[in-house]
Structures are given as structure tokens and as C-alpha cells.
């Protein structure tokens, strides 16, 4: 990595006229803002569709992308739906017209409206004469052939879930639970074909946006959750890769021990990998997964990297994560293959949490940059490795992650001893502004890459926090930026200030 900086913003948090951020005009305007501000990277978080809520770290496929990101205006431009129809659908389902504002995402309504729009577009496409949409039809066929190794299973899984009212695959009748054969005709085939169409439309729009980012000199940083949910296309189709019993239920599940975020630890509940079986297959599923993502992003943040050194294993019937134990992971046997096979894909190791000697050794052997979070640096009772004067170049410094409070919220409500230490260490003052003082500390550090939450650049408080781990709330993953904040009268001055600081510190 060369010395650079960037901003974290989930796509769903972009400004949009359709209830939830998407790949349309709001995304392009944000890329314009990044370029104007002298930034080089945009970190988007995982790209999958949330499986039972709003968290992009719990998705129904490790491969399929989130249909809610699809821009309806792109469908209108392609002749698949009229703008008036999109407007009508949003009024009926979302409860407000397309174009109506709002600083929060109502995931249930927004996703339902997007699905209705896409189904209308699919019907128009499917029922049109063969010669109509000829280019799209050819593109769809090519996309399906190129991605058959994951797409067929995913589309059938989604079709079966619809057929059985959204029930988990573990509750399906045995003939469907244990078969991956797709019928040639009928409603099941029609739904599977629709799901393939949606993924093709997403990829078409994504490729256009990524090309725009490249024109602006912006790298896209993606994110790969280490685990997948039990109710996912991946576990249904590849259950031998997971620690399951004969009925397909987990015997042990994932989580993490008590830490900064939770005194009880975190009981995630994801099924754990059967690393012995995966090793025997040459890590094929993992190689396919990284290969797919390498075509979507420029840099990949590997979430919960420590789980590849050793992972926390909790009995499936445990009440809290305190009952877990550490087990050895695949280590360099897997990570070495991934970094050598995909040597043009830059990777970041999310090495936060409880770290042990095996994690440090894996990080050193892999030569991947780890993460340093400024909000974790200022415990006056500890000699923190996150203090900027201790950084080596090969690391990524963050103001905070999606799981942290905003800087303004942390400075206002964080432990008083920690915030006092931060103020003294960084020389925070009212003239510069405390938030900009923290940003300066990260910018000036030796870290090759420095990443900021957009909320911190905008100076927003705890109301703009993206996620609070260990809590279930409609507020989590619902914040989004307004168009005014990145294109309005104050945006130009904000971009100029950030650009000047970026230039000053050689990023």
C-alpha cells in the first residue's frame, strides 16, 4: 500500500431518492466528494444482502450482492420500467414518494419497495419478445455461465425460501433440504431465474460505478465476514464444510469472549467451519469466495482475521459466550494460498479483539497490514499499541470502525480518563476543533493507510452511530448521510480542509 487515506461509508448510508443508499447518483456524488477532498479510498463494508435484519455481516450468501443497492433509475434508463411506475410503487409500499428525504433507512419498507420494482422490471424483461433487450439477454446468459459455481445454488436456495414462506432450510421437507436439483419449468424455476436476473443487474450497475471510481482515482475497499449464517445458501449447499450434526444443526457456534464491546462476550451463533474437511478440498470454497470478491473490489478487509489463527468455539446450546474455548484455525496454510493466488488484491487484516501469540505470528508471516483504532488507544492504565507513535508503516489507522461511536460521541460520552489522555496526547483544542485534532493524529501517523468514518469528518454525534454491537435496535445500520452534507454549500469548504490536511501529511 502506498501512503493514502480514505473514508468509510456503507452504500446503504448514501443519499438516495429511494429510501436506502444505492449505486446511483448519490454514489457518484460521494465519489466526487472523495476526489475533491483528496481521498484515495472508499470502504463500503460487506456487499451481501442481510439475512434477517440490517447487518451486512449476517447475509444469506457469501457471494450474492444486496439487491437493495440497485438503482431504479438505471432500470428506467434500460427501458425495464417507467419512472411513473417506480413512483407509484414507492408511494404504495414505502409510504412516501420516491425522492422524499430522510436521514434514516427503514430497511423493511425500502427493501420491499426495491423488490417490487425489480420484480416489475423482471416481468417486463421476461415477457418481452426475444429480439427486445437482446444485449441484456446476452449479458445475462454470459453472467450465469461465468458464475454457475455459486449462482445456481444461491438462486435455488432463494426460490425454495420463498416457496416455504421464508423458513430456514433446516425446516424444509427432506426432499428439498437435501436436493440441489433445479427444475426446468414451473414457479420454482421462475423464481430462481428472477434471482439470477437481479444479481446480473447488480453486477452491471456495480461495474459502471467501479469504473467511475477508477476515473476519480478511488480504490474500493470491500469487507469479508469470516462466518456465514446457518440459514444461508452456503451452509445449505456446502454443509460438509461446517460443524453440523446429521440434521444440519450446528454442534458448536462462533462468537468472541468478553472484550471492550461486551462484558458477556458476543454469541454470534454462526456455524463454525470444519477446517479438516475444507483443507482436504484444497480450500476450494474459500478460493472461490475470494476469487469472486477480487473482481468486485480493489482492497479486501478480512473481518475477524484472528479466527484464522485460532477461533472461539462455543457449544451450540450455550447461554453466553463465556462458555467457549479457543481452537486452532487453518493459519498460513489458507492465508498463504489466498495472498499468493490473489496477489493483485490488496488485503487488510482486521486483527482487533483478544490477540494471542499465534495471531501475531500469522500477521507477521502473512505480511498483511493490521488495524489500529484511535478510540482504543488512550487507556491511561495500559501501554496501548494503538498510540500513533508506536505504528509501523504496514498498518491501517482508523478513527473508529462501524462498531464504534462517532468521534464526537466518544469525546462527549467516553471514559473521562481516556478522553482526557487523548486531549493531552493529541493536543486537542477549540481553535482547531477536537475532531480535526484526532483526524490530524491519524493523518500524521506512520500508517500507510488512514481511514475515517464520514460521520467524523462531518462532526456528527452519537445519533449518527452506525452500529452498537450486542444490541438489537432499529437504529443500528439505519443512519445515512443527506445529499446536502456532501454536495451542499458547506461541502466544498469541508472537502478543501480535508484535502489540505491530506496533502500536508503526504497522503
Kindly list the catalytic residues.
Answer: 303, 350, 403
3-state helix, strand and coil shares in percent for the chain, rounded to the nearest 5: 45, 15, 40
Give the residue among 11, 117, 25 at the shortest CA–CA distance from 66.
11
Residues comprising the chain, all counted:
507
Query: 3-class DSSP state for residue 226?
Result: coil
The three three-digit cell numbers of residue 32, written as one number: 466526487
State the CB neighbour count (10 A cutoff) for residue 103: 14
The separation between CA 454 and the C-alpha centre of its own chain, rounded to angstroms, equals 15
Rounded distance between C-alpha atoms, residue 311 and residue 328, angstroms? 6
Cβ-contact 478, 104 below 8 angstroms:
yes
The residues, ordered by sequence, that sit 6+ positions from 383 with a Cβ below 8 Å of its Cβ are none
* Burial label, 90 (beta-carbon count in 10 A; 0-12, 13-18, 19+): buried
The CA angle 305-309-310, to the nearest 5 degrees, is: 105
Rounded distance between C-alpha atoms, residue 121 and residue 34, angstroms? 32
The residues, ordered by sequence, that sit 6+ positions from 199 with a Cβ below 8 Å of its Cβ are 64, 65, 143, 147, 151, 154, 155
Query: 3-class DSSP state for residue 406?
Result: coil
Rounded distance between C-alpha atoms, residue 229 and residue 248, angstroms? 13
Give the residue among 168, 167, 143, 16 at the shortest CA–CA distance from 86.
16
Rounded distance between C-alpha atoms, residue 312 and residue 324, angstroms? 6
Give the residue among 458, 379, 386, 462 at the shortest CA–CA distance from 419.
379
Cβ-contact 386, 359 below 8 angstroms:
no
Backbone dihedral angles phi then psi of residue 58, each to the nearest 5 degrees: -130, 95
Q: How many Å is the Cα radius of gyration of the chain?
A: 23
Q: Where are the alpha helices (DSSP H) in 180-263?
A: 187-215, 233-237
Query: 457: left (phi > 0), else alpha (psi -120 to 50), else beta?
Result: alpha
Q: Where are the alpha helices (DSSP H) in 281-323?
A: 284-294, 306-309
Amino acid at each position: 500500500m502506498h501512503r493514502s487515506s480514505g473514508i468509510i461509508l456503507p452504500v446503504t448510508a448514501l443519499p438516495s431518492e429511494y429510501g436506502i443508499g444505492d449505486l446511483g447518483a448519490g454514489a457518484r456524488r460521494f465519489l466526487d466528494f472523495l476526489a475533491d477532498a483528496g481521498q484515495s479510498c472508499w470502504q463500503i463494508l460487506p456487499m451481501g444482502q442481510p439475512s434477517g435484519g440490517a447487518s451486512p455481516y449476517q447475509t444469506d450468501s457469501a457471494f450474492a450482492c444486496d439487491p437493495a443497492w440497485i438503482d431504479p433509475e438505471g432500470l428506467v434508463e434500460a427501458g425495464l420500467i417507467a419512472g411513473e411506475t417506480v413512483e407509484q410503487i414507492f408511494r404504495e409500499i414505502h409510504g412516501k414518494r420516491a425522492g422524499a428525504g430522510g436521514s434514516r433507512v427503514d430497511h423493511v419498507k425500502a427493501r420491499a419497495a426495491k423488490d417490487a420494482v425489480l420484480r416489475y422490471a423482471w416481468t417486463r424483461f421476461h415477457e418481452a419478445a426475444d429480439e427486445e433487450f437482446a444485449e441484456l439477454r446476452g449479458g445475462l446468459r454470459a453472467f450465469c455461465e461465468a458464475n454457475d459455481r455459486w449462482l445456481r445454488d444461491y438462486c435455488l436456495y432463494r426460490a425454495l425460501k420463498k416457496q416455504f414462506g421464508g423458513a430456514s432450510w433446516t425446516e424444509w421437507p427432506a426432499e428439498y433440504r437435501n436436493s440441489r436439483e433445479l427444475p426446468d419449468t414451473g414457479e420454482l424455476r421462475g423464481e430462481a431465474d428472477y434471482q439470477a436476473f437481479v444479481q446480473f443487474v447488480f453486477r452491471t450497475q456495480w461495474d459502471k460505478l467501479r469504473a467511475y471510481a477508477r476515473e476519480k482515482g478511488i480504490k474500493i475497499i470491500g469487507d469479508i465476514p469470516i462466518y456465514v449464517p446457518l440459514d444461508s445458501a452456503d451452509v445449505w449447499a456446502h454443509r460438509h464444510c461446517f460443524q453440523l450434526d446429521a440434521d444440519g444443526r450446528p454442534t458448536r457456534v462462533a462468537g468472541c469472549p468478553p472484550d471492550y464491546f461486551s462484558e458477556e462476550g458476543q454469541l454470534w451463533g454462526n456455524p463454525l467451519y470444519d477446517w479438516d474437511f475444507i483443507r482436504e478440498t484444497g480450500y476450494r470454497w474459500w478460493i472461490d469466495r475470494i476469487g469472486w470478491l477480487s473482481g468486485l473490489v480493489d482492497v479486501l478487509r478480512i473481518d475477524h482475521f484472528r479466527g484464522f489463527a485460532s477461533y472461539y468455539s462455543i457449544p451450540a446450546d450455550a447461554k453466553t459466550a463465556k462458555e467457549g474455548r479457543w481452537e486452532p484455525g487453518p493459519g498460513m496454510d489458507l492465508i498463504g494460498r489466498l495472498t499468493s493466488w490473489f496477489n493483485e488484491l490488496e488485503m487488510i487484516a482486521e486483527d482487533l479483539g483478544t490477540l494471542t501469540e499465534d495471531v501475531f505470528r500469522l500477521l507477521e508471516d502473512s505480511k498483511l497490514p493490521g488495524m489500529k483504532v484511535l478510540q482504543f488507544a488512550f487507556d491511561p492504565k495500559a501501554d496501548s499499541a494503538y498510540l500513533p507513535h508506536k505504528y509501523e508503516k504496514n498498518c491501517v489507522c482508523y478513527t473508529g470502525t462501524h462498531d464504534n461511536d462517532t468521534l464526537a460521541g466518544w469525546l462527549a460520552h467516553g471514559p473521562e480518563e481516556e478522553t482526557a489522555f487523548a486531549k493531552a496526547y493529541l493536543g486537542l483544542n477549540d481553535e482547531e476543533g477536537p475532531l480535526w485534532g484526532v483526524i490530524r493524529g491519524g493523518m500524521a501517523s506512520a500508517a500507510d493507510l488512514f481511514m475515517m468514518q464520514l460521520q467524523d469528518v462531518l462532526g456528527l454525534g452519537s445519533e449518527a452511530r452506525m452500529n452498537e454491537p450486542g444490541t438489537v435496535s432499529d437504529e443500528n445500520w439505519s443512519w445515512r448521510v443527506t445529499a446536502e452534507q456532501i454536495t451542499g454549500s458547506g461541502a466544498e469548504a469541508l472537502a478543501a480542509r480535508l484535502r489540505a490536511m491530506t496533502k500536508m501529511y503526504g497522503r
